[in-house]
Amino acid sequence: MRRVRLGAVEYLNARPLVFGLEQSPRFTIRYDLPSECARLLQAGDIDLGLVPSIEYLRDDAYRAVPGLAITSCGPVTSVALYTRRPIADVRSIVMDTSSRTSVALVRVLCARLFKIQPVIEAQQPDLETMLSRADAALVIGDNALLWDHTRTRIDPEAASAGGASGIEKIDLGSAWTSMTGLPFVWAFWTGRAGALDAEDVRALTVARDQGVAQSDAVARGYFRHTPQHHDIGIRYLRDNIKYTLGDRERAALELFYRYAVEAGVMPVTRPLLFY
């Protein structure tokens, strides 16, 4: 039996979706940054990738696994712009090279919500270096989730009052939901037609269900070498991240794709097609 090559995001938020699959005889799994998952899928080096949602538009052959995604509604906590200026005064943003969907979302929010036209560049995620080069910085994943707790504590009220950190964290999940009233879909399983059969889809759904049911244990296992992060991970998986691609999430994706085209991020949108 040919094994399905899965490319999963290496961050905590992806782990409930692959719960138990490392022991499956049907799947092999590798873990990479979101942008690398997208590259591997495009190159044909994996069969199915947990790729940034914007990547679905890059290939007409792509299909999505129904019902499964990494989503949030309101604060996501792990995708944020950090700025020392009011967002209306931001003229330059450095983007985390790990990301593709979040970069697209920043550009949409700049056009539609923040009403700014910043100069944009990209670099590896190091917040202090990024903010030394630009007015704001996009950071995603575990780096954003833990930065508040391991570096300077970010307090927006203190920042606006010229407090110790002077850095405001703008949660992009909150920004999107406040603008649209909808959840945001960060990533979902994507592959080319024929990569999966119905039993594979069932196995991925079971993995999600079991991972969500045991999310506390997932967080503790992920942070097994840093127990001081256990509570952060548990709250994050329990309160911020969801794993269902339902009707509202599909509506949100379609709106995001339309806005991305209007902002010049992607050339065209296309309908969601599923296995």
Enumerate the domain spans of the chain.
4-72+182-262, 79-180
Query: pLDDT at position 161, please?
Result: 36
Which position has the higher pLDDT, 160 or 94?
A: 94
Does residue 129 contact residue 123 with C-beta atoms inside 8 Å? yes
Q: Does domain 79-180 have CATH number 3.40.190.10?
A: yes
CA dihedral 83, 85, 89, 95 (to 10 degrees): -20
Write down the pTM of the prediction.
0.92
Render pLDDT for 59-105 as a digit per residue (tens, 0 to 9). 999 999 999 999 999 999 999 999 999 999 999 999 998 889 999 99
Write phi, then psi, for 84 (nearest 5 degrees). -100, 0
Does residue 80 contact residue 170 with C-beta atoms inside 8 Å? yes
Rounded CA-CA distance 209/225 in Å is: 26
Rounded CA-CA distance 175/264 in Å is: 20
Q: Do domains 4-72+182-262 and 79-180 have the same CATH topology?
A: yes
157 pLDDT band (50/70/90 cuts)?
Answer: very low
Question: Helix, strand, or coil here: 184?
Answer: strand
**Burial (CB count within 10 angstroms: exposed 0-12, middle 13-18, buried 19+), residue 246:** middle
Query: pLDDT at position 63, please?
Result: 98
Architecture (CATH level 2) of domain 4-72+182-262:
3-Layer(aba) Sandwich (3.40)
